[in-house]
Amino acid sequence: MKKQLWSLVLSLFVAVSVLLGGTAIAEAGNFVEVADTGVLQLKANEKWEKEYRTKMGDVKIRFRNLANSKENKRYHLLIWWRDPGKGKYERVADGYSPKNNFGYGFKVFRDNKTGRVYFAMDAHGRIVLYGYDTFAKKLELYVDSINYWSPLPLPSMLVRPDGDLELRFDSVNRQANPTRYRLFWDLGRNWFGYQDLNVPVYHDVPTSYDDSVYDTSVMNASTIYEGVD
């Protein structure tokens, strides 16, 4: 009798899974915020530089205000990576960002489950999330706020209570209901997936991008991204 009851329960579970399209609840994340610069108001030729060490390798970030450069190359961003046990850093990104009247800010996140480190660059109106892919041996642009719909102008990124990341859009006065997207690391796809928290349907972030929108080959890019003034 117990065996027949268990078989019935199992059959019902399979049937429900089929009706739901086999959708599984995503596992909670393990992201933590390890740094938040706030808005960097760098003086002429002043730099912000930080080094972060992880079990998968070390990353060093430098952002400098080039006072005598053209407005479209006012800030210089350099990123280095060092594999575990290696003595020297390897430069993985060398690009420029334009003058921005609001300034730039950085947040650094670590995924405690995978050991990966990601950093978000915020230009007050656009935010991008980068990370170093230790398998592909290159810096990847994983998230760009311009690819997510919102009627509100100000994106930000934070760690959710469940341990995943959240891309959030707010109004200038913070009075409107925010537009929110949950970002989670998909081990199977080796990329970020997202959940639209305004319409509860899961989506997959495409693994290929239109190069006319942005260049994921950051090493060869003339600018990290176009600024918003």
Q: Is residue 205 part of a domain?
A: yes
pLDDT beneath 50, residues of the chain: 1-26, 201, 208-229
Q: Report pLDDT for 28.
A: 63
Strand partners, 143: 129
Q: Domain limits at 158?
A: 24-211
Taking the whole predicted model, whether its pTM rises above 0.85 is answered as: no
Residue from 115, 119, 113, 124 nearest 40 by CA: 124
Q: Which residues contact 203 (CB under 8 A, 6 or more apart)?
A: 193, 194, 195, 196
pLDDT of residue 102: 86
For position 224, what pLDDT does the model report? Answer: 38
Task: Dump pLDDT digits (tens) for 162-185.
Answer: 999 999 999 998 888 999 999 999
CA–CA distance, 121 with 72 (Å, rounded to integer) = 17
* Four-CA torsion 59, 73, 209, 200, nearest 10 degrees: 80
Give how many domains the chain has, as a whole number.
1
The pLDDT score that the predictor gives to residue 200 is: 53
Asked whether residue 2 is domain-assigned, the answer is: no
Residue 54 falls within a domain, yes or no?
yes
Residue 19 in any domain: the answer is no
Strand partners for 193: 184, 204
Parallel, antiparallel, or unpaired for β 154-159 and 47-54? unpaired
User: According to the model, what pLDDT value does residue 174 have?
Assistant: 87
Q: What is the CATH number of the domain that holds 149?
A: 2.40.128
132 located within any domain: yes
Residue 13 falls within a domain, yes or no? Answer: no
